[in-house]
Amino acid sequence: MRFVVVTGLSGAGKSTTLNFLEDAGYYCVDNMPVQLIPEFAKLLSENPEIERAALGIDAREGTGFDELEMALDKLSAIGISFEILFLESDDSVLVKRYKETRRLHPLAFGDRVETGIAREREKLSSIKKRAGHIIDTSRMLTRDLKAEIDKIFVYDQGFKNLYVTILSFGFKYGIPADADLVFDVRFLPNPYYHDDLRPLSGLDKPVADFVLGHDEATEFLDKLEDLLAFLIPNYITEGKNQLVVAIGCTGGKHRSITLASALYDRMVRYDGYGFKLEHRDFGKDAARGK
């Protein structure tokens, strides 16, 4: 039996994940008292009709949550293997989600949402270290999360705990605050100065052909791909689970979109990592958009 313990920060997507697993054929239970986990898992393992199960646990279990690690150790002692999936997100994203839903954070206890999040992070720190799968949902749409869950728990594909966002942007609108790596492609010839290309974007073939038609662009992509192929495994070793690679030009319309798209097409072939492509400033300043 494949037994998955789903936990993590409140608001990071635990309930949504359990729904995905249930749709995929997992027998799912949410927020069972921690003390009952070993006996529950034992009963499931003795049922030949249940091949996959998932159990949701979060900090709302109160004092019982502190006993989770003991319960998991007992599972190992009685010979039941398990996996821990930990869901997390940036504080700013969690705060926004709570404000949008107008829900109270379970550990805020009348304080600000930020205070509840800080308490929960501390409470979950030890279980996070034991997690075999860590997914940061900060930049994920629901369909992105489902794709990751399916990859790991349905199709049994390799998972290396890193989700890479390749992001195009325009320097005139500011460098993305969450960027880990920033690359400036304003050294390339600018399609903006060609009347027939100015109204188009890097999503259009004439612009892409113009930008990629320069040897410097191809060489840049080759070097950047090599750099990321080196960095990603090392980031994983250090425990990083999300990487934002930002590629910028003047207005985020031509060169950055072309190169971000081309880099995505190259990197998405790498097995074991999640990749997402975003164009932050596409459509801004359409009349001038350099």
The DSSP secondary-structure symbol of 176 reads -
State the pLDDT at residue 64: 57
Confidence of residue 125 (pLDDT cuts 50, 70, 90): confident
State the pLDDT at residue 227: 97
Residue 195 has pLDDT above 70, yes or no: yes
C-alpha separations of 10 from 1, 90, 108, 153, 265 in Å: 27, 11, 11, 21, 34
- How far apart CA 211 and CA 89 sit, in angstroms, is 36
C-alpha separations of 29 from 12, 52, 89 in Å: 18, 12, 23
- For tokens 């010839």, the residue is 189
Give the pLDDT confidence of 28-37 residue by residue, as tens digits. Answer: 999 888 889 9
Please report, for the chain, the start and end positions of each structural domain, with discontinuous segments joined by +.
2-153, 163-279
Q: How far is CA 65 from the centre of its chain?
A: 25
User: Mean pLDDT over residues 70-89, rounded?
Assistant: 91
CATH number of 2-153: 3.40.50.300
User: Mean pLDDT over residues 47-59, rounded?
Assistant: 89
User: Mean pLDDT over residues 59-82, rounded?
Assistant: 79
Give the pLDDT confidence of 222-280 residue by residue, as tens digits. Answer: 999 999 999 998 988 777 778 999 999 999 999 999 999 999 999 988 877 778 899 99
Give the pLDDT confidence of 144-172 residue by residue, as tens digits. Answer: 899 889 888 987 765 556 789 999 999 99
Residue 215 has pLDDT above 80, yes or no: yes
Give the pLDDT confidence of 234-249 residue by residue, as tens digits. Answer: 988 777 778 999 999 9
Residue 96 has pLDDT above 90, yes or no: no
Residue 289 has pLDDT above 50, yes or no: no
State the pLDDT at residue 148: 87
Contact 163, 136 (CB under 8 A): yes
For 198, other C-beta atoms within 10 Å of its C-beta total 17
